[in-house]
Amino acid sequence: MSPNRLLHICFSILLGAAATQAAADPRDELLVDAAWLAAHLDDANLVLLHVGDDGEYKKSHIPGARFVTLDDISVSEHTREGRMLEMPSDDDLRARLQKLGISDDSRIVVYYGKDWVSPSTRVVFTLQYAGLGARTSLLDGGMGAWVKQGGAVTRDVPAAKTGVLAALKTLPLVVEADYVRSHLDAPGIAVVDGRAAVFYDGTDIGGAHGHTHFKGHIKGARSIPFTSVTGDDLRWRSTAELKTLFEQAGVKPGDTVVGYCHVGQQATAMLFAARLLGHPVKLYDGSFQDWSHDTNNPAESRGARSTP
C-alpha cells in the first residue's frame, strides 16, 4: 500500500471518529433550538407540549402546542402523610400520555413558558421514564427563545387528539428511600440535592400540608441548585460550564446522579443537566418530603445532624 493511500485511510478514520464523537453529544438529542422547531413545526408526527400558566397559554403559544400540567403526568396525595408529584402506574401513565396525543411514532418537543423550567424537565423526565426519551427533546430557552427568534404565536388551541401507544417499557429511573440510604457512600453514585441553597444549608425549611421537613439535606448529598443549570435567558449552560458546576459539587465523570429536591420537580432540571453531560440519572421521587417522615433517615445542616 502506498504511503499516500495509507495516509488517506488514516485521515478518513480520524474524520469518522470525530463525526461519531460529535454525533454522540447528548445535547444534540436532548435539546432543539428555535430554528429546528420552526423547520419541523408542520411535521405530522410532532407533538409539541407547552408547560406553563394556563392564562399565559391562552394568550399566546407556539402554533400546534398542547397545554400540559404536572397533574396531567403525575399523581399527588394532598395530605400531611401523602406524597406529591408521584409517578403513575404504567397503565395509568400510558393513558395519560395518549390523552396528550402521544403515539408510538411521535416526535415530542417540550417547552416552557416564562420561567417554568423545572416543571418542563419533570415532563421530559417522565417521558424518559416511560421509554420515550430517545424521541423527546426540550426547546432550549423555551417560549422566550422562540419569540426572540421571531417565531409565530397563536391563541388557537389544537383539537383534542388521542394517541396510540403500545404498553410502556418503563425504565428503572425512579428510586425509593431505601435505595438512597444504601447508596449514600457507594462508588459511582452521587446523591445530589437540586433545591435552592437556602434549603440545602438549612437557612430555610420546607414543608407542606402541616408537615415540616428536616432541616438541611440528606447526609452526604451534594448540592447543585436547579436554578444554576440555566442562564438568565433560561438557555442551558454550555457543556464546559456544566462540567465545572458538577465537578465543583463533587460529582465525578461517569457517576450515576441520584437527584432529589422537595417533591421531585426541581431535581429534574439538575438531572436534565446531568444527562447533557452524559451521566446516567435516577430520581428519588419521594424526595425530602418522604425522607423527612422517618427520623432514622440521616440529615445534616452545615455539617451537623439535624433529624429530630
For every residue of 243-264, DSSP letters joined together read HHHHHHTTPPTTPEEEEE-SSS
Grid-cell match 418542563, residue found = 120
Helix, strand, coil % (nearest 5) of the chain? 40, 20, 45
Residue 21 has a pLDDT of 47
Give the H or E element holding residue 281.
strand 281-284
Give the distance between the most distant pair of CA atoms in the chain.
79
pLDDT given at position 2: 52
The number of beta carbons lying within 10 Å of the beta carbon of residue 57 is 21
Instruction: Please give the domain boundaries of the chain with CATH numbers for all domains.
Output: 26-148 (3.40.250.10), 174-305 (3.40.250.10)
Instruction: Return the pLDDT at 297.
Output: 94
Q: Are 215 and 301 in contact (CB under 8 A)?
A: yes
Is residue 282 within 8 A of residue 256, CB to CB? The reply is: yes
Record the pTM: 0.90
In 149-269, the DSSP E strands lie at 174-175, 189-193, 207-208, 211-212, 217-218, 222-223, 256-260
Residue 7: what pLDDT? 47
The pLDDT value recorded for residue 141 is: 98
Per-block average pLDDT, block size 10, for the chain (308 residues)?
A: 49 47 81 98 98 96 98 86 87 98 98 97 98 98 97 97 97 98 96 97 84 90 98 98 98 98 97 98 96 92 52
pLDDT of residue 281: 98
Q: Amino acid letter at 44?
A: A
